[in-house]
Amino acid sequence: MDKYPVALITGCSTGIGLETSLLLARQGYRVFATMRDLKKSSSLRQAAVGLSLEILQLDVDKPASVKKAVSAVLKKAGSIDVLINNAGWGAFGATEEFTDKEIHAQFETNLFGLLRVTRAVLPAMRDQKSGRIINVGSLAGKMTFAGIGLYCATKYAVEAVTESLRLEVRPFNIQVGLVEPGVIETRFKDNRRKAQTFFQEKSAYQPVMEKVFAWSNERAKGAPGPEKVAGTILKALRDRRMALRYALGFDAVWYPVAKWFMPSFVYELVMRRMYGRFLKEPA
Amino acid sequence: MNSRPVVLVTGANSGIGLACAEAIARKGYRVYATYRNPRKAGHLWRLSRSLPLFPLLMDVNRTPSVQKAVSQILKKEKRVDALINNAGFVMAGFWEDLSDKDVRDQFETNVFGLLRVSRAVLPFMRKQGSGKILNIGSVAGFAALPGLGAYSATKFAVNSITEALRMETRPWGIDVTEINPGEIQTSVVQNARLGERVKSPQSPYTPFTKYFENFSKERFEKAAPVEKLVGVVLKALEDRPMKRRYLVKLDDYFTYYLRWLLPDALWEWGLGIMFPWSRFPR
């Protein structure tokens, strides 16, 4: 009796989640691709014709939704062998100008949601005494960039989650790893949300932030596509002993190395130059 | 006419906050020391009789409370020269033993609270064209430990917020840094909160939790006196510009550089020796 490994993936309507669910399905996984809004499922549905891929609704922000989706998968497939925590979005704006609500919303999805799904899946993985969890982190989890400080904070936290969870569940033969892409050409740039204050035109940071947005749009052009990340995730799943980190893309591999080896003041000089000269003078 | 610098210290009713507030006041700064629980502020009020130290009610978890306290200071002083973001606590427990609420409470105080106070103070610092923000991080902010994941995650986040604020507010002459102490002799362990399921007999992590308790007890027997950290804070307040990050004791430097130098696999091998889970009965 041949049993296909079962994979649960969050945030599959676009980008990394979409590509990963298709790749894993083609490689013989039984994939449960989840997303918050099923209305956005058409592109995945079309691409997945003939593959062992099912689409489910899962909003990582909502405990009830997480519970429902996880128990649906367990009922249908009997096990969950792989969990890929991919759902997330980016808050853009100056750290000072986010409202409480915006801060909560950013952490709710990128961090608390990731934990919620993980905690829902872990009992099943412990029972079956095997399982793999891959968190989609980011270069922003190793380095902070001005203008996306809040997003970076969530990704730093994901680094800590992965590092600690990995050691906590190792006795149960569960492996946890982190995939860290750099800038990727995805819909991420459409999915980002700007701080409210920014639109109210009273932002002291506006001239600075405009340049950060322009710069990040510029960077996304010609960056590696989401299928590269999917490939790395597959590689991590195939490694007998999954490593803690899989960085991909020139920036994700080398920027942190540069950061480590530069003295603080040089690093900060470089960071300021990176955004142009705009961080020097206030508006 | 008082030209002595004004410092705001959060979570100052005990431990690191109290020691810092007292020492800074002794140096002649005007210190606003905030507390959340009026019943635990007795020591602060006693100090306020002889020092330029002003106890102030503030719950960093609540926006109105933060705004009220900050506006009180500004009304009286018309300025804030430094903010020491110290309020925080430790949530202990393995990830699976923590509830949604546990995780949220941990972040509410350690991260969102820090942001709340910083955001309340920053507009004035920008107006006056100067200011310092000192975030109290932790060694757990660059080396995550099992059993302490939630706390580590908040301190990792603080690490990133410090870096972002440092870059973003620099044009207005504001300097932001982070102080990363390791174990310090305070009541942080006694005040630690345990995750919802940590003590439950159903928890699959019970043997590990016990081991971890002993481990941290032993570590804290070798904790440094709080004066050591206070010295670093005083130095940072006077440094101009401040360093990107301050460490406190030799141990912390050791951990920091080891984490930095060792590849992940070696680092984890070391942690595996410190936390020999696999040898436990399950």
Query: What is the arrangement of strands in the sheet containing B53-57, beginning at the earlier edge strand?
Result: B53-57, B30-35, B6-9, B82-85, B131-136, B174-180, B245-247
Does the distance separating the beta carbons of B94 and A168 come in below 8 Å? yes
The full length of chain A comes to 283
Specify the number of domains making up chain A: 1
pLDDT tens figures, B173-218: 999 999 999 989 887 777 889 999 999 988 999 888 888 888 888 8
**Active-site residue (options: B29, B35, B151, B256):** B151
Is B151 among the catalytic positions? yes
Is the Cβ pair A156, B268 closer than 8 Å? no
Helix (H, G, I), strand (E, B) or coil at B203: coil
pTM, full prediction: 0.94
Our CA dihedral for B100, B190, A155, A145, rounded to 10 degrees, sits at 140
Q: Does A95 fall in a domain?
A: yes
Specify if A272 maps to a domain. Answer: no
Best mutation target among B107, B125, B168, B177 (most A Cβ atoms within 10 Å) is B168
Phi (first) and psi of residue A15, to 5 degrees: 50, -130
The answer to whether residue A115 scores a pLDDT higher than 70 is: yes
Ranges of chain B whose pLDDT falls below 50: 1
Among partner residues A111, A119, A204, which is closest to B96 by beta-carbon distance? A119
Distances (CA, A) of A178 to A135, A213, B269: 5, 27, 18
- The CATH number of residue A27's host domain is 3.40.50.720
Query: Residue A278 above 60 pLDDT?
Result: no
**B152–A160: do the CB atoms touch at under 8 Å?**
yes
Does residue B56 belong to the interface with chain A, where contact is any CB pair within 8 Å? no
- CB of A21 closer than 8 Å to CB of A33: yes
A11-53 pLDDT tens trace:
999 899 999 999 999 999 999 999 999 999 999 999 999 999 9
Cα–Cα distance, A70 to A67 (Å, whole number): 5
Tell me which chain B residue has its CA closest to the CA of residue A212. B168
CB–CB of A96 and B116 under 8 A? Answer: no
| Domain around A239 | 6-255
Q: What is the pLDDT of residue B96?
A: 95
Count of CB pairs separated by less than 8 Å, A with B: 163
Which residue among A97, A164, A264 sits closest to B148, beta carbon to beta carbon?
A164
Judge contact between A104 and B112, C-beta under 8 A.
Answer: yes
Which among B95, B171, B260 has the least Cβ separation from residue A282?
B171
Task: Evaluate whether residue A282 is within a structural domain.
Answer: no
Instruction: Tell me which residue has tokens 């757990």.
Output: B140
Does the bond joining B38 to the residue before it have cis omega, within 30 degrees of 0? no
Beta strands B91-92 and B82-85, pairing class: unpaired
Please give the pLDDT value at position A3: 76
In a domain, A261, yes or no: no
Nearest-angstrom CA–CA distance, A171 and B275? 11
Q: Report angle CA A228, A143, A251 to the nearest 5 degrees.
A: 35
Residue with tokens 């569940």: A169
Task: Determine what percent of chain A is predicted with pLDDT higher than 70.
Answer: 90
A-contacting residues in B 193-232 (Cβ below 8 Å): 204-205, 208
Contact A152 B163 (CB under 8 A): yes
For residue A271, the chain B residues in CB contact (below 8 A) are 167
Domain regions of chain B by residue span: 6-279
Burial class (CB in 10 A: 0-12, 13-18, 19+), B43: middle
| B239 close contact with A: CB closer than 8 A | no
Residue A105 lies in a domain: yes
Q: Is residue A281 included in any domain, yes or no?
A: no
Which of A165, A171, A244 lies nearest to residue B278, judging by beta carbons?
A171
Nearest CB to B95 within list A144, A148, A164: A164
Report the alpha-carbon angle A222-A226-A232, nearest 5: 115
Q: How does residue A210 score in pLDDT terms, banded at 50, 70 and 90?
A: confident
Chain B residues inside the 8 Å CB shell of A282? 126, 171-172
Does A171 map to a domain?
Answer: yes
* Model pLDDT for residues A217-266, shown as the tens digit of each residue: 777 777 888 999 999 999 999 999 999 999 998 888 888 888 888 888 88
Count of alpha carbons within 13 angstroms of residue A254, beta-carbon side = 3
The shortest C-alpha distance from A279 to chain B (Å) reads 6
Q: What pLDDT is attached to residue B47?
A: 95
Question: Exposure string (b/e) for B190-217, b if CB count within 10 Å is 16 or more?
Answer: eeebbbebbeeeebbbbebbebbeeebe
* pLDDT value, residue A283: 44
Q: Which residues of B touch A105 (CB under 8 A)?
A: none
- Residue B282 tokens read as 């399950």
The answer to the question of residue A266 being in a domain is: no
List b or e across B133-144, with b for residues whose CB sees 16 or more CB atoms inside 10 angstroms.
bbbbbbbbbbbb
Q: What is the chain A residue with the closest CA to B274?
A: A167
Which residues, 6+ apart, have CB-to-CB distance to A41 below 8 Å? A13, A35, A55
Window 154-193 of B, Cβ < 8 Å to A: 154-161, 163-172
ipTM above 0.85, yes or no: yes
Across the interface, do A281 and B171 touch by the CB < 8 Å criterion?
Answer: yes
- For residue A187, pLDDT beyond 80: no
Overall average pLDDT of the A204-216 stretch: 77
Q: How confident is the model at residue A200 (pLDDT cuts 50, 70, 90)?
A: low
Tokens coding A251: 């920036």
What SS3 class is residue B253?
helix
- Residue A188: per-residue pLDDT: 62
Question: Which residue in A4, A29, A151, A246 is the catalytic one?
Answer: A151
What's the rounded Cα separation, in Å, for the pair A145 and A241? 32
CATH 3.40.50.720 fits domain B6-279: yes
A191: pLDDT confidence band, cut at 50, 70 and 90?
A: low
Mind telling me how many Å the CA of B171 is from chain A's nearest CA? Answer: 5
**What is the spatial distance between Cα B65 and Cα B10, in angstroms, rounded to a whole number?**
12
